């Protein structure tokens, strides 16, 4: 059997193609920043980006012109405010117009579940009274065949590629996720191919019973990328870099400042270790947050 363990650049090169629907998940925890940067380095274009909570990494992908459309349920820089490249794309069409398909969290989670389950659609008791269905033709309704109740229905999400970050994998490529697991299992199982970056590859996972484990045979690639979730956090490894999240606001507010920053630190480096060094980032240890 061919090993699933490979460098991140190889995984992105092999599996992420122009025009693909790409989901990068991680609910404010374990956000796959290093993988997002690699997609930017490899200059993928015409992507449909899917993510419940587009934040800084999608701001960067959108601002660098990788995306033609965005499927999401909440877009912002948590605790800081707006994401300016996302807003500039929607409000002014820069660097290119961005088509949006907007949902609620409950619905996005359900759409991934339907995708993972091989079902065509998801059903939920949602959007009652909301204007969202008027602006998103994918939000429709269905009548329950048993009770007659009208419920919201939306199509399954089946990304070409889902990308997530996790704490660790073993040498076979089995992955363990600890802490806030978000929608990652569903997003991985819904995808045609899944790339997982991990903090470390270990001899034995030592996963507690019932923990969130993704077996190697549902994954396309597993890549060891320490600090690959920075500036988000990896529970048990390092804390959220709130100073970076705040610093992102002025960097991203101005188009030229943004482009210069991305050219220097992302396009100008060959991998994540190079990026961290170039941007002068020292991830914050666990004790700084939980000590």
Partner 1 sequence: MADANYTSTEIMTIEAARRLKNGTVCFVGIGMPSAAANLARLTHAPEVVLIYESGTIGAKPRVLPLSIGDGELAEYADTVVSVPEIFRYWLQGGRVDVGFLGAAQVDRFGNINTTVVGNDYAKPKVRLPGAGGAPEIASNAKETWIIIKQSKRTFVPKLDFLTSVGHLDGGDSRARSGARGAGPTAVITDLGVLAPDPVSRELTLVAIHPGITVEQAVASTGWDLKVAATLARTAPPTASELETLRDLHARTAKAHGTLAME
Q: Which residues bind partner 1 (CB under 8 A)?
A: 27-29, 52-53, 72-76, 78-80, 82, 86-87, 90-91, 102-107, 109-110, 112-113, 124-132, 135, 149-150, 179-183, 185-186, 212, 233, 235, 239-240, 242-243, 245-246, 289-290
For partner 1, the closer CB: 95 or 274: 95
For partner 1, the closer CB: 86 or 261: 86
Rounded to the nearest whole angstrom, what is the least distance from the CB of residue 13 to partner 1 in the complex? 30
Helices vs strands, H then E, count in the chain: 11, 12
Rounded to the nearest whole angstrom, what is the least distance from the CB of residue 172 to partner 1 in the complex? 24
Q: Which phi and psi (to 5°) does residue 72 adopt?
A: -160, 175
Q: For residues 32 and 163, what is the distance between their CA atoms, to the nearest angstrom?
A: 7
Instruction: Check: CB of residue 219 under 8 Å from CB of residue 173.
Output: yes
Instruction: Check: CB of residue 98 under 8 Å from CB of residue 71.
Output: no
Rounded to the nearest whole angstrom, what is the least distance from the CB of residue 246 to partner 1 in the complex? 6
For partner 1, the closer CB: 183 or 193: 183
Q: For residues 160 and 173, what is the distance between their CA atoms, to the nearest angstrom?
A: 20
For partner 1, the closer CB: 35 or 245: 245
For partner 1, the closer CB: 5 or 116: 116
Bridge partner list, 29: 233
Q: Measured over all CA atoms, what is the biggest interatomic distance in the chain, rounded to whole angstroms?
A: 60
For partner 1, the closer CB: 4 or 240: 240
Rounded to the nearest whole angstrom, what is the least distance from the CB of residue 88 to partner 1 in the complex? 9
Rounded to the nearest whole angstrom, what is the least distance from the CB of residue 151 to partner 1 in the complex? 9
Closest CA to 12 of 66, 59, 52, 51: 66
Rounded to the nearest whole angstrom, what is the least distance from the CB of residue 42 to partner 1 in the complex? 28
Q: For residues 280 and 278, what is the distance between their CA atoms, to the nearest angstrom?
A: 5
Under DSSP, is residue 178 helix (H, G, I), strand (E, B) or coil? Answer: coil
């Amino acid at each position: 059997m061919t090993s699933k363990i490979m460098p991140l650049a190889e995984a992105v090169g092999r599996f992420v193609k122009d025009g693909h629907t790409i989901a990068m998940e991680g609910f404010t925890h374990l956000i796959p920043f290093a993988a997002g940067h690699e997609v930017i380095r490899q200059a993928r274009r015409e992507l449909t980006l899917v993510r419940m909570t587009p934040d800084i990494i999608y701001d960067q992908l959108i601002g660098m012109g990788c995306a033609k459309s965005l499927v999401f349920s909440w877009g912002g820089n948590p605790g800081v405010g707006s994401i300016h490249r996302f807003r500039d794309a929607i409000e002014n069409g820069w660097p290119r117009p961005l088509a949006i398909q907007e949902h609620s969290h409950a619905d996005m989670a359900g759409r991934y579940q339907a995708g993972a389950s091989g079902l065509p659609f998801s059903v939920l008791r949602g959007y009652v009274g909301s204007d969202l269905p008027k602006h998103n033709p994918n939000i429709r309704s269905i009548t329950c065949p048993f009770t007659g109740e009208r419920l919201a229905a939306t199509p399954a999400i089946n990304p070409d590629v889902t990308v997530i970050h996790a704490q660790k994998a073993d040498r076979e490529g089995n992955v363990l996720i600890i802490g806030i697991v978000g929608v990652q299992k569903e997003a991985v199982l819904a995808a045609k191919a899944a790339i997982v970056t991990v903090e470390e590859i270990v001899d034995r996972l030592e996963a507690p019973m019932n923990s969130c484990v993704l077996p190697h045979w549902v994954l396309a690639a597993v890549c060891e990328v320490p600090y690959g979730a920075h500036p988000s956090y990896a529970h048990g490894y390092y804390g959220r870099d709130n100073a970076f999240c705040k610093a992102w606001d002025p960097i991203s507010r101005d188009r030229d400042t943004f482009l210069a920053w991305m050219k220097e630190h992302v396009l100008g480096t060959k991998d994540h270790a190079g990026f961290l060094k170039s941007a002068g980032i020292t991830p914050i240890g666990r004790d700084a947050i939980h000590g």
